[in-house]
Structure 1
Amino acid sequence: MIERKFRFEDLEIWKIAIEIGDELYDIADRLEEKKKYRFAEQLRGAAMSISNNIAEGAGSSSKPEFSQFLNYARRSCYECANILIISERRNYVSLTEKEALFARLEELSRKITNFQKALK
């Protein structure tokens, strides 16, 4: 049987986005346990938006369109970072956990930007 893949599955940025998304989902699950449903919902949506936009963009028929979806993905990294700041300020996540995810989100954001530049 032939294994079929979508184009985005081979992209490093998508793989990283999926890994970060898993970590953010774990935090969202913990937030939900604390009855912080809005925080959990917002974090899940932003986390999923990163990999979703990379995947959706990979299905674009043009490089400019793909680049626009990558821009949405990068912006979702920033949204996740903002939610983490608020969550840390409210003592829902530790400073250590926030900083570790910040580093990963910042690295992913840079990689997305570099990938966009390579598309041009």
Structure 2
Amino acid sequence: MNAFRLFLVAVIAIVGAYTSVTIANHGMGLFPIFFGDIADMAWPGQFNLDFLCFLIFSGFWVAWRHEFSVAGLVLGFAAFNLGAPFLATYLLVQSYRTKGDVAAMLLGPTRAERAR
């Protein structure tokens, strides 16, 4: 679990640093570029569409894990919009909250308890 937590911290740091440099050099105009690449029907757009689907999966998983409660929907929306740094932070927090219990971390405590 410690190696996984270290990996999560690395993801947060690396993507956060890269994003900071990108914003400093190109501003906050992500959406026109992101969706423009998809509309162009070329490889950058294919990658962006694939990534968008992963963001959707991430958001639904977080909301599902919280049984689609209001908090779960808010966290799912955050996961969809904030990407890997959010999901890595979320998993890092959950790894400590669940004391490293992977089933509880992935399924949520209620579902993990039912699965036992």
Same fold (TM over 0.5): no
TM-score when scaled to structure 2? 0.32
TM-score when scaled to structure 1? 0.31
